[in-house]
Structure 1
Amino acid sequence: MKKYWLIAAILLLSIAFGSSVQAEDKEMYVDVSVATLWSEPDQARDLDAPSLSNPVDMWEWTESMTYEEKKWLVGELQTQALYGQKVTILEEQGDWVKVAVDGQPTPKNELGYPAWMPKDQLADQKRYSVLKEKKSFALVTAPTANIYDDRIKSQEFKEISFNTRLPVVAQTGSMVLVATPSDGMKWVSSDHVSIYKNEEDIPNPDGEDVIETGKQFLGLPYLWAGASGFGFDCSGFTHTIYKAHGITIPRDSSVQAEHGTAVSKDNLQKGDLLFFAYEEGEGSVHHVGMYIGDGQMIHAPNSESTVEIIDVFESDYYSSEFAGARRYID
Structure 2
Amino acid sequence: MTIALYDLLEQTRRRAIDSRTSLADIHIEPDGESVAVRGQVLDRATAERLMRALRAQAPTINWRDDMQTLVTGPDYHWALLTRPVADLRREPSHRAERVTQALLGEALETLRVQGAWTLVRLSDGYLGWLFTGYDSAPLALCHAEQAQAYRQQATHLVTHPLAPFYAHPSGEAQDQVGLLPFGVRVQVIGQDGALQRVRWPDGTLRWIGSADLLPLAALAPRCHAGLRQALDWAQRLIGVPYLWGGKTPFGYDCSGLTQTLFGLIGIDLPRDADQQAERGTPVALDALACGDLLFFGDPADAQHQRPSRVTHVALALNRHEFLDASRSGGGVAIRSLDPRSPIYAGATAPTLLFARRYFPHEA
Band of TM-score, shorter chain: 0.7 to 0.9
Q: Is the 8 A contact 2:158 2:213 kept in 1?
A: yes
Quote the Cα distance in structure 2 between the aligned partners of 1:253 and 1:226. Answer: 13
Q: Is the 8 A contact 2:85 2:102 kept in 1?
A: yes
1:25 aligns with 2:76: yes
Q: In the alignment, what sits opposite 2:281?
A: 261
- Judged with a 3 Å threshold, the aligned counterparts in structure 2 of structure 1 residues 23 and 241 are, in CA distance, closer, same or farther, namely farther
Q: In the alignment, what sits opposite 1:153?
A: 171
Residue segments in structure 2 that go unaligned for 5+ positions in a row: 1-69, 302-306, 340-344
Q: Is the 8 A contact 2:77 2:142 kept in 1?
A: no
The correspondence for 1:287, drawn from 299, 302, 312, is 312
- Judged with a 3 Å threshold, the aligned counterparts in structure 2 of structure 1 residues 125 and 91 are, in CA distance, closer, same or farther, namely closer
- Judged with a 3 Å threshold, the aligned counterparts in structure 2 of structure 1 residues 137 and 125 are, in CA distance, closer, same or farther, namely farther
Could you tell me the percent identity over the aligned residues?
Answer: 30
Q: Is the 8 A contact 2:80 2:142 kept in 1?
A: no
RMSD: 2.7
Larger Rg: 2
Cα displacement (A) at 1:129? 4.8
Q: Kindly provide the CA deviation profile for residues 174-206 of structure 1, in whole angstroms up to 9, marking residues without a partner as x.
A: 321111134611111111112237xx9753441
Cα displacement (A) at 1:223? 0.2
Q: Is the 8 A contact 2:78 2:141 kept in 1?
A: no
Q: In the alignment, what sits opposite 2:264?
A: 244
- Judged with a 3 Å threshold, the aligned counterparts in structure 2 of structure 1 residues 328 and 171 are, in CA distance, closer, same or farther, namely farther
Q: In the alignment, what sits opposite 2:325?
A: 300
TM-score (norm 2): 0.68
The correspondence for 1:100, drawn from 90, 112, 121, is 121
Cα displacement (A) at 1:40? 0.7
Q: In the alignment, what sits opposite 1:69?
A: none
Q: Is the 8 A contact 2:79 2:142 kept in 1?
A: no
1:326 aligns with 2:356: yes
Q: In the alignment, what sits opposite 2:38?
A: none
Q: In the alignment, what sits opposite 1:40?
A: 91
Quote the Cα distance in structure 2 between the aligned partners of 1:284 and 1:93. Answer: 34
Cα displacement (A) at 1:124? 2.0
Quote the Cα distance in structure 2 between the aligned partners of 1:238 and 1:186. Answer: 29
Q: In the alignment, what sits opposite 1:51?
A: none
Q: Is the 8 A contact 1:276 1:324 kept in 2?
A: yes
The correspondence for 1:218, drawn from 230, 233, 238, is 238
Higher relative contact order (CA 8 A, sep 6+): 1
Instruction: Extract structure 1 runs of 4+ deviating beyond 4 A.
Output: 21-24, 125-131
Q: Kindly provide the CA deviation profile for residues 62-100 of structure 1, in whole angstroms up to 9, marking residues without a partner as x.
A: xxxxxxxxxxx7xx1210010121111111111111101
TM-score (norm 1): 0.74
Q: Kindly provide the CA deviation profile for residues 216-244 of structure 1, in whole angstroms up to 9, marking residues without a partner as x.
A: 21100000000112110000000001112
The correspondence for 1:117, drawn from 92, 116, 130, is 130
Q: Is the 8 A contact 1:138 1:178 kept in 2?
A: no
